[in-house]
Amino acid sequence: MRSSDTISTIRSWIFLSLVLLVSGFAAQCSVRAECKVADVNCNVLPLLLYSKVAVATNLYVVNSTTGSLSEYSIDRTTGLLASIGTATGMAGASGVQVDPLGRFVFVTAQTTPRIHRFAIDTTGALSVLGTTTPNFTFPGDLCSDPTGDYLYSVVAGNNTVEGFSVSSTGFLTSTGTGVAAAGGSSLRIHPSGRFMYTANSGGPSISAYSLSAGAPTNILTTASGGTTPQGIALDPSGNFLYVANSGGTPNIAIFSINQSTGIPTLQTTINSTSVWAVIVDPTGQYVYTTNRGASNSVSTYRRDSAGLLTLIGNVAAGTAPSFLAVDPQSQFLYVSNSNTATQFVSQYRIVSGLPVSMGTIPAGDGGSFLNLLVKQFY
């Protein structure tokens, strides 16, 4: 065989091998929606076969009036919800948190202070594990640290936050409490897992905590930049904190965060009609807020590298829209509606950052807090 033929044969073999690998990957993508992330075409180098992609598979919505939790599956192509059941028996249900490892769901109940614990099966349906009695009454919003080893609750009735360790079976053990200002309404954990922040509607203030082995220690309580802070959110880098101040002249307060100390510093505020809750999308490019009262809408803001916001759109969101959730790929947005006369969750597809309505689905008594179950796929 001539050397040129040998070279040609080798080239053909290499090309054929690459085509087979890429074609195999493309075929896998056509079956598994998790391959579609950040508009990356599936016809790419086969190294991506070994990359994990986070996909939201289920949504859980707390119904405080009926003391229940609505469970939904999420169509991974369309983003539409389908009811798969309801968990009951949680009088005064308040907050909900999905374990970041996809093992458990936790729900706070205030009538008889408890944290209800559930195991998650492969469909996202729940089975009861039991309850944990917190040290204080009126447990509210919940948040897990990034590892899933610890769970935290803000306790509005006692102006405290409480930490819990989470066992491999979902059992909770208190790790300690920290002092908060009056009326703690929501909390978020820094992406590093080293700090925690609460919005305190009775302050009006926000509190910052350091976290060590699950125990919260207050390091600062400062003015929220407005009145009646209800919602709080962190950007994915943990460099900025956003606070939804719903009282007085409603606004969004923007804080920078010292990455060494965790201390937030107010940078500026933006007036925002009837703002209630706030969330930053996983890409960090957009911020979404719910707005109650006359507007009853969701606002979209474009976020720049300095953390500043520019309003780029509003979309109708029924009556009394409350809390929001965005899927990990920033394709879908879900909004709970807390008006007991019109009970639903609004569903949106996100197009160029802007939510486009896909309709609504019934949700118990309208829902308050909601949370996504996120799974990792190859």
CB 202 within 8 A of CB 138: no
Supply the CATH number for residue 82's domain: 2.130.10.10
254-to-24, 126, 265, 267, 362 alpha-carbon distances in Å: 47, 37, 8, 6, 34
Q: What is this structure's pTM? A: 0.85
Do 200 and 155 sit in the same domain of this protein?
yes
Assess whether 35 and 60 both reside in one domain: no
Judge if 43 and 187 occupy the same domain: no
**Closest to 310 in 3D by CA, of 280, 270, 268:** 270
Q: How many domains does the chain fold into?
A: 2
Measure Cα distances from 71 to 33, 61, 291 in Å.
Answer: 21, 7, 25
Q: Which of 29, 48, 67 is the last residue of a domain?
A: 48
pLDDT in tens, the chain (378 residues): 544 444 444 333 332 222 332 223 222 232 323 222 222 222 233 333 445 788 999 999 998 888 899 999 999 999 999 999 999 999 988 899 999 999 999 999 988 899 999 999 999 999 999 999 988 778 889 999 999 999 999 887 677 899 999 999 999 999 988 876 677 888 999 999 999 999 998 889 999 999 999 999 999 999 999 999 999 999 999 999 999 999 999 999 999 999 999 999 999 999 988 999 999 999 999 999 999 887 899 999 999 999 999 999 999 998 889 899 999 999 999 999 876 566 789 999 999 999 999 999 988 765 667 788 887 665
In this structure, the answer to whether residues 36 and 127 fall within a common structural domain is: no
Same domain, 126 and 265: yes
- Pair 191, 311 in one domain: yes
Question: Can you name the residues that pair with 345 across neighbouring β-strands?
Answer: 336, 361
342 contact partners, CB below 8 Å, separation of at least 6 = 318, 319, 366
If asked whether residues 80 and 43 sit together in one domain, one would say: no
How much is the CA Rg of the chain, to the nearest whole Å?
Answer: 22
Last residue of a domain, one of 14, 30, 48: 48
Give me the domain span that covers residue 193.
54-377
If asked whether residues 79 and 120 sit together in one domain, one would say yes
Rounded-to-integer distance, Cα 232 and Cα 228, Å: 12
68 with 36, same domain?
no
Cα–Cα distance for residue pair 198/161, rounded to 1 Å: 9
Q: Examine the domain organization and report whether 361 and 328 are in the same domain.
A: yes
* Distances 326 to 234, 238, 375 between C-alpha atoms, Å: 13, 17, 14
